[in-house]
Structure 1
Amino acid sequence: MAATLTPIIGGMPHSFLALTGISKLYPGVTALDGVDLRVSAGEVIGLVGENGAGKSTLMKILGGVVEATGGEIEIDGDRVDRLSVNGSMRAGIAFVHQELNLFDNLSAAANIFIGREPLKGGPLRLIDTEALNRQAKPLLDQLGADFRPDTKVADLSLAQMQLVEIAKALSLKARLVIMDEPTSSLTVTETNRLLAVIGRLKAERVAVIFISHRLGEVKQVADRVAVLRDGRLVAELARSEIETGTMIRHMIGRDLKTLYGPPAAPPGHAVLELADVRTSYRPDQAASFSVRAGEILGLAGLVGSGRTELARAVFGLEPILGGEIRIDGRKVGLRSPREAIQHGVYLVPEDRKRSGLILSFRISHNISLASLKSLSRRGIVDGAAERREAEAQKKNLDIRCLDTTAEAGSLSGGNQQKVVLAKWLSMQPRVLIFDEPTRGIDVGAKNEIYRLMRELSDRGVGILMISSDMEEVIGVSDRIAVMHEGAIAGFLDRSQFTEENVLSLAVGRAAIREAAE
């Protein structure tokens, strides 16, 4: 290891931050109600709760962005009347936000020391690039970074960018690093690397507050879990008590078994069939499967197995190089999204913000985007009809917003996903493809998405669900198809649903065992 952080944080007391009875009141809303939280050196605290539970407000108080209405804050045993942004930074509290705050046109080193660059002597006071890179290198080495300090941020992966953010925090002598949904856009490999970095921080006695909707990761990395619900701290779980079901029960007030809903009725005929379909992703491999009316077919596999590429091909976004696709038994050519939509095949994409929504558009405009023809007269959109359809979908899907004239970007992740879904529901889908349907949304919103998926399947819609969340695949699917290197490695019926069986097929092994009763 090229450098250690001990000189930066040496002498730090074991317990350095205590929040007692923290409350925050807004007009008509109690965002926080008497929350206690203590942070010790080298401790990883998982902070979980649904959207609106108070996590963000509590972190804003820690960061000095907002002032608590009541309660006490102590740092190193000394009471602090109010944490300002600068005071929070001086206390060693640093944030790694879900939306990274980096300058793409600058190097990693320049981003780490932005505004604090070493300068050369002389009248021009130019930035000393050599010193900048020299100071950044030990921080990046400590985090196991595989890129040089002078690499432009634009050339880095998302996971590498997060290492730059963490290195920036450490350059500020961080004693507590708060990570807000740090793995929401990472691959499995990148996620594992980040969790290993958290282990390194812990070994150097840097504390971490890990905020995530991915409860499996919380279970893997946290020493203790604090659960917020409706602004209150409803549970603190010791390491031995951290279980996914336990966290969910405290977060939503009910058991895990109610999350995924009831099993499906027997499915009908095949509404979507793929026969030896080849795509440009792996032209040497072919995929064959069917999705039946009233069925949720889970499509599992490791990152890079070709799941998303196959879904994009079915929706006409990628060329199909061979094989055929049949809708209700009839061969069709889906050479564009327009043709897919005409045949009742719709895609809810993985990246809803970039591919599923226009965030600056009104909610009502997003809902009507795909059905403007039916809402128009002589090429002019009927505004009243558009508003009626939006209000109907708002009520149908329980989209939480004051008004459908609000911008889609103002909604929570779960409600944004509902708007993407609303866009298609007004058009009577035959097949709906969900690519990572609950990525980045909280447990309560997941439950609503699962309920909507089941309601659609009960109405005879065939659903293809791509998910990297093993619990989700097993909990929601009626059957599971597993991809490996561009081809379908095998199928699992409910009696065979185990993580071991899914992973065995995903890595190319064929051994399948019956699930234990």
Structure 2
Amino acid sequence: MEENNVLLHMEHITKRFTGSVALSDASIRVARGDVHALIGENGAGKSTLIKVLTGVYRSDGGTILFDGQPVAFQSPQQAQHHGISTIYQEVNLVPYRSVTENIFLGRELFRWGLLDWRKMNTEASTLLKRLHLSIDATKSLNTYNIATQQMVAIARAISFKSKLVIMDEPTSSLNDDEVATLFAVIRQLKAEGVSIIFVSHRLDELYAICDSITVLRDGVTVDARPIASISKLELVSKMLGKDLGSVQQSGQTSFDASRHHAQQEVLLDAVGLRQGRKLQNASVKVHAGEIVGLAGLLGSGRSEVARTVFGADPIEAGKITIDGKEVHFRAPIDAIRAGIGLCSEDRKIDGIIPDLSVRENLTLAALPTLTRSGIVDRKKQEQIVDRFIQRLGVKTAGPEQKIRELSGGNQQKVLLARWLCLNPRLLLLDEPTRGIDVGAKSEIQKLVEELAESGMGVLLISSELEEIIEGSDHVAVLRDGVTVAELSRADISQNVIMAAMAHGEEQSGTGEGA
């Protein structure tokens, strides 16, 4: 790439937060008129890199050149003023203001000291027509659906006459026709010389619209090249940090595949689950005494499957059968009564209540069984807490210690205990070992195996292929909300799983085609 054709050059960017390093050596070069993909799994550093560029965060090292000049923006407004617009996945507009007001927010047009509504409405309508959007710009934004709101956000970004537009998961709330419209707009912007940074987890979209790609992993840029020169399978291997064609070595986890064996009894049979674009045709089956691994890249629909089975999210189509009977859970309480527990992906947001004690967090789901006439049986509660602290080896100063003071591994043990004290028959574990130390990870893996050996069914969701490969009796692979492979123990391998993630079908070879 010739230097005079480079619009953005971020090099050796570092960013540290208390207790963690988000970026350690991240770089990206975006050419003028380039549609540039920025990809990576959860925690790779994509959002942090964007926020460093746009002035939300200050970097701790590295250089940024934009349009040939060194920059260090102090705020998103300053970045916007210099020609960088960002469209986030969550629409950050004002819902109770009109479409026109949102497009011109902060830079309203005046005539004779008064707001020039006629000109603003006219210009807003022109922008919207450019996006093939026929709506009344004078109406409140919240009268339109999320997809339309997303297009309004894009119209606002275009109105700034930006040199660089950053689109963070812009298609997440759009249907296929709306995605096609968005891609037409992107191609139009490209033809006008505008550069796009396109963040998406959908591989097919990347290959359909992007010219080049930068891959982040653990805060480091691990690859950057024209997208036509890298296959989907190689791209998946870069994101996951796995070598193509490598032989999977056993013993990388504490799982012992010989210790658990599936029984004939089917606990869960979910077939054809659909939920917008998140789930298109997802299916998974779990027998008693079996660990089923659910594999897939970020955004493939893994967590959504668990949440729909647990009754946390509704489904538009499909069937969920528990113990041979079709169920329609309206809320998680229905799933809990049916003997199902869920340890969610983000324990800080959806798991622990930080200012409550270990005792209160551990027995939260069991409170209905511990309460009589609105009063908790404290003695029975303490007996349960003491038993599970000892059983799971929770390192704590005592049951009354606030859970936020515990390590990540011990918080995760408390969340597991929350469900185990209800003696569930099916346990849904979404990233149960993410963000915890090696020792705690080993203990949790051994515990999961013991649970399966005792006859419990376990659905294990993990981004770590080693956990899926060594811990699972069967594996289901998701891609863009579709179950694309179902593997028995003999067929489970790193290459087969990655091929399914990349191409959407079971393949025995590594394949080089995109």
Place the TM-score, normalised by the shorter chain, in its bin: 0.5 to 0.7
Alignment equivalent of 1:164, drawn from 149, 152, 164: 152
Give the CA deviation at 1:155: 2.5
Alignment correspondent of 2:277: none
Alignment equivalent of 2:265, drawn from 270, 284, 287: 270
Give the CA deviation at 1:113: 1.0
**2:54 is aligned with 1:63:** yes
- Equivalent residue of 2:364, what SS? helix
Name the CA shift for 1:225/1:406 in 2 (closer, same or farther; >3 Å).
farther
How far apart, CA to CA, are the structure 2 residues paired with 1:420 and 1:187?
36
Contact kept, 8 Å, 1:111 with 1:168, in 2: the verdict is: yes
Q: How many pairs align?
A: 446
Contact kept, 8 Å, 1:64 with 1:83, in 2: the verdict is: yes
**2:118 is aligned with 1:130:** yes
How far apart, CA to CA, are the structure 1 residues paired with 2:197 and 2:423?
44
Contact kept, 8 Å, 1:144 with 1:197, in 2: the verdict is: no
Alignment equivalent of 2:376, drawn from 375, 379, 402: 379
Give the CA deviation at 1:359: 7.8
Alignment correspondent of 2:38: 47
- Equivalent residue of 1:37, what SS? strand
Contact kept, 8 Å, 1:40 with 1:207, in 2: the verdict is: yes
Contact kept, 8 Å, 2:84 with 2:165, in 1: the verdict is: yes
Contact kept, 8 Å, 2:309 with 2:320, in 1: the verdict is: no
Equivalent runs, 1:239-250 vs 2, <5 Å = 239-250=227-238
**2:427 is aligned with 1:427:** no
**2:369 is aligned with 1:369:** no
Name the CA shift for 1:496/1:192 in 2 (closer, same or farther; >3 Å).
farther
Name the CA shift for 1:462/1:249 in 2 (closer, same or farther; >3 Å).
same
Percent identity of the aligned residues? 34
**2:221 is aligned with 1:233:** yes
User: How large is the Cα RMSD of the aligned pairs?
Assistant: 6.1
Tell me the TM-score normalized by structure 2: 0.62
Name the CA shift for 1:149/1:347 in 2 (closer, same or farther; >3 Å).
farther
Name the CA shift for 1:343/1:52 in 2 (closer, same or farther; >3 Å).
closer
Give the CA deviation at 1:430: 1.6
Alignment correspondent of 1:343: 338
- Equivalent residue of 1:370, what SS? coil
**2:403 is aligned with 1:404:** yes
Contact kept, 8 Å, 1:375 with 1:386, in 2: the verdict is: no
Contact kept, 8 Å, 2:22 with 2:48, in 1: the verdict is: yes
AA aligned opposite 2:62: G
Alignment equivalent of 1:76, drawn from 67, 77, 86: 67
CA offsets, 1:397-446, max 9 Å, x none? xxxxxx83279xxx9xxx99999877535533323568xx68xx99xxxx
AA aligned opposite 1:117: E
AA aligned opposite 1:182: P
Name the CA shift for 1:371/1:223 in 2 (closer, same or farther; >3 Å).
farther
Give the CA deviation at 1:92: 0.7
CA offsets, 1:495-515, max 9 Å, x none? 99999xx9xxxxxxxxxx997
Name the CA shift for 1:71/1:420 in 2 (closer, same or farther; >3 Å).
same
Name the CA shift for 1:291/1:191 in 2 (closer, same or farther; >3 Å).
farther
AA aligned opposite 1:156: Y
Alignment equivalent of 1:112, drawn from 103, 116, 123: 103
- Equivalent residue of 1:369, what SS? coil
AA aligned opposite 1:427: L
Name the CA shift for 1:432/1:226 in 2 (closer, same or farther; >3 Å).
same
Alignment correspondent of 2:161: 173
Give the CA deviation at 1:111: 0.9
Unmatched tracts of structure 2, length 5 or more: 272-282, 297-303, 396-401, 436-440, 462-467, 479-484, 510-514
Give the CA deviation at 1:22: 3.2
Alignment correspondent of 2:287: 292
Name the CA shift for 1:359/1:247 in 2 (closer, same or farther; >3 Å).
farther
How far apart, CA to CA, are the structure 2 residues paired with 1:275 and 1:162?
32
Tell me the TM-score normalized by structure 1: 0.62
How far apart, CA to CA, are the structure 1 residues paired with 2:18 and 2:346?
34
How far apart, CA to CA, are the structure 2 residues paired with 1:62 and 1:230?
18
